[in-house]
Amino acid sequence: MKNALRISCSRVNLKAVRDFVAASLLDCNLSNTQLNQIILAVDEVVANLIIHANGEDESQYLDLAIDIKDQLFAIEIFDNAATFYSPSTYHEPDLTEFIRQGKRGGVGMTLVNRIMDRVEFTSNGGQNVCRLFKHLVYE
């Protein structure tokens, strides 16, 4: 099964993304925990791309494509932002220190990396792609 969605880079579209992911996983018979974790991870990446990479510029778009095959959930998120996230520059924050300092934000990608089995970021010819993969456990 393959589903696709295009959204403009506005936070108001995050609900549409969450609904899109939930609808795509509807027939997979997942636990509520696994379903909500996948939705949360996708929501976090899309929010980061909308806010940080695309500066909430509604003239810019994200294209999402979900493929579910052989118990593997895969989503590709495409954009054309000049800003590219590079996993090689990412350093997982010290969560204990974040809590001690009362910091807000900055832990989303840590959460995504813990939820998903594999996270990839690539850029080719001005198009950026984020790929998230999760092995599904059916109930």
User: Could you read off the pLDDT of 69-111 as tens digits, one per residue?
Assistant: 999 999 999 999 987 765 555 566 565 665 566 656 656 888 9
In angstroms, rounded to a whole number, what is the distance separating the alpha carbons of residues 35 and 137? 10
Report the number of distinct structural domains present in the chain. Answer: 1
- Span 124-135, mean pLDDT? 94
Task: Give the residue among 54, 56, 23 at the shortest CA–CA distance from 38.
Answer: 23
Q: Is the pLDDT of residue 15 over 70?
A: yes
The CATH number of whichever domain residue 9 belongs to comes to 3.30.565.10
pTM value > 0.85 = yes
Tokens linked to 73:
């959930």
Range of the domain at 101: 2-135
Q: Which of 31-40, 94-103, 108-117 has the lowest mean pLDDT?
A: 94-103
Q: Which long-range contacts (CB under 8 A, 24 or more apart) does 29-34 make?
A: 29/138, 29/139, 30/136, 30/137, 30/138, 30/139, 31/137, 31/139, 34/134, 34/136, 34/137
